[in-house]
Structure 1
Amino acid sequence: MTNDTLHTILNKFDICESTITFLRHNENRTYRVDDAHGTSYLLRIHQPVKESMAGMQHTYDGLLAELKMLDALANQNHLIVQAPLRNREGELITVLEHEGQQLNCSILTWLEGRDLQKEDVTNREVVQQLGFQLAELHSFFRQYPHEGMETRPSQGIAYNTGMIDTIKKGLVLELFTATDVSIIEKTILLINSRLEGNGLTPESWGLIHGDLGLGNIIVTPEGKLSFIDFGFFGPGYYLTDVAMGASMIPVEHRNLFLEAYYGHKHVHENELLLIEGFMLLSIIGFYAFMMGNESVHDWMREHMPQLCTKQCLPYLSGERIFYTS
């Protein structure tokens, strides 16, 4: 995409005389924009690198729901987030006509910092901060209006079941063995049966970030943590985020994370069992989402047998994996 095209978008936001730096093209095309006054922004063109990665989050209505939520989240005083900008017409989304396509574009404020690293979460204070802030985020989501969320990705039992069919496509692509696919299917079905047994309650189901990982958490120069990339924000089990958070943390600090999130030390065994299931679902979900991306196929071939042997089979046999994997 040419600089002239990008400047056409920026001009709709009255951002002129700017320097544009390409960042990456994955779920979206992203660019850093530095204007003449020294202010920086994040420009997002919502076009995934692979068609198979496109989802509800890329549609106009789906993106608008994300941006409205970010606008509300940025106006509270507890969490550091990137705020969306409105264009000259007051709209959060600018539609670009490009090569016969209509592309949705948005601009967020820039957040200085770096990605959270594995070394960071060996620090007990960082682990506690992560737990506290995730609890704060979920507290915001609990009071945020849930209307209109049918336009956002939903990570429930049906989503889990759909992953089975996606993983089975790996057989045709010769990514996975029939044995490994069978283990994944049994794992998901077991997790779903446990979720069905617990039902949906306001305490268990609501709005979630949906894609917590080291690359989606920024450490600011002041040492504060900030959640970014709400592309998978939408309805889901709160424990999805809790499990993703725990997965980033060394096993010896995971209880500290849970204590910070819940506000108490004791976590019920049934709750821990569900968290373990969601930890596995987050990994399986990555495989499913990246199935159409040939650049990670070799990685998948190598790591799927390890996932099945070291985590799924112990989980299926009733072993505790929260403190071992």
Structure 2
Amino acid sequence: MREDTMVEILCGYGIQEPQLQFLRHNENRTYEVIDSATGEHYLFRVHQPLTRNFEGLQQTDKGLLTELQLLEELGQRSELIAQKPVWHGSGNLLTHIEHEGKRIPSSLLTWVEGAVFRKETCESDPVIARELGAHIASLHRFFRSYHPQFDFDSRPSQGIERNSLMIAQIHRGVEQGLFGEEEFRCVEQTIGLVNSRLESLGKSEETYGIIHGDLNMSNIILTPEGEICFIDFGLCGSGYYLFDVGMGTLVVPPEQRLDFLAGYYGDSGDVPDTVRVLLEGWMLIAVLGYYAFQMENQAVHPWIRERMPGFCTNLCRPYLSGERVMERFKV
């Protein structure tokens, strides 16, 4: 993709002599942008997924506009720190790049300075685990009060249908020789058990709504002032709130997971066993979701080949047999 094309678009946002620094390419191409005149930093996203497993409703114009409008409301109506969408001089939130015969959408967000959340973050300051839980609870309160302009059917969803789709994506690992049929059957049974429990749970205002959908470590930032900020709402959509809680539980050390849950639930963190079973299921789904997303990314294949047997032995099989596994997940 030509840099001069991107520079031309960025100038349309009023950025003078923009400097671009490539960051990564997963579901989007992302760049840090510096305005040479003001020194302001921005995040420029070209919504072109790396592999087909990253494709989805979130890259359509309607899906992207739904995300951008949510971010604008989050910045205006909550106390949470959030990246804000930047309007183009044409009066649009989205711009488009012509590349290899395709019209690819792009967007610009404000930059949040800070460090990515790490295991060491909690080890050096145990209070952070509880604060993280409280921040996710605040995010969910905002989501419950938010009334989007567009229906969230234009966004990804996290639930039974998505979990079932992952089964076919993960089977590609068998076809590519990353793991065997035995591991795949174990994964399939695990997803099936989680789905059966979700069917019993059903959907209600308390259990299901708008969620972030991707609260891994790289999407949680600690600002220089020590504030927590959630970034990358690219997979934000409808889903079970426990999916966000499960991902949050995964990023803190095992010995601080009750503190995290106390921050979210506002009590001792000793959640009922029925909730804990569902939470552990979503923790498993979060890890399997990463495998599914990366199944066509050859750079990650050695990691999957190494990890899948142990994941089945140490987590999936015990979960299937009724054991509690929350503390067995490593950060």
TM over 0.5: yes
CA distance in 2, matches of 1:222, 1:31: 24
Residue number in structure 2 paired with 1:209: 212
Count residues with an aligned counterpart.
325
Would the alpha carbon gap of residues 165 and 95 (structure 1) be closer, same or farther in structure 2, given more than 3 Å must change?
Answer: same
How big is the shift at 1:254? 0.6
How big is the shift at 1:59? 1.0
1:146-193 alpha-carbon deviations (Å, 9 max, x no partner): 551011000110111111111122211111211000000111111111
**Maintained 8 Å contact 2:157/2:239:** yes
**Maintained 8 Å contact 1:83/1:108:** yes
Residue number in structure 2 paired with 1:182: 185
How big is the shift at 1:126? 0.8
1:8-36 alpha-carbon deviations (Å, 9 max, x no partner): 11122121222222222222111111111
Output the TM-score relative to the length of structure 2: 0.96
**Maintained 8 Å contact 2:58/2:156:** yes
How big is the shift at 1:71? 0.7
**Maintained 8 Å contact 1:53/1:292:** no
Query: 1:232 is aligned with what amino acid?
Result: L
How big is the shift at 1:197? 0.8
Residue number in structure 1 paired with 2:160: 157
> Structure 1 unaligned runs (5+)?
none
How big is the shift at 1:50? 2.1
3-state SS, counterpart of residue 236 of structure 1: strand
3-state SS, counterpart of residue 89 of structure 2: coil
3-state SS, counterpart of residue 295 of structure 1: helix
Residue number in structure 2 paired with 1:95: 96
Residue number in structure 2 paired with 1:323: 327
Q: How does 1:276-287 map to 2 (within 5 A)?
A: 276-287=280-291
Output the TM-score relative to the length of structure 1: 0.97
1:103-147 alpha-carbon deviations (Å, 9 max, x no partner): 101000011111111101223211111011000000000011255
How big is the shift at 1:77? 4.1
Selected match of 1:308 from 299, 312, 315: 312
How big is the shift at 1:3? 2.6
CA distance in 2, matches of 1:27, 1:128: 30
**Maintained 8 Å contact 1:208/1:233:** yes
**Maintained 8 Å contact 2:314/2:328:** no
Name the stretch that deviates more: 32-41 or 206-215: 32-41
Query: 2:266 is aligned with what amino acid?
Result: G
Query: 2:247 is aligned with what amino acid?
Result: M
CA distance in 1, matches of 2:260, 2:66: 30
> Structure 2 unaligned runs (5+)?
none
Alignment of 1:247 onto 2:250: yes
Please, what is the CA RMSD of the aligned residues? 1.2
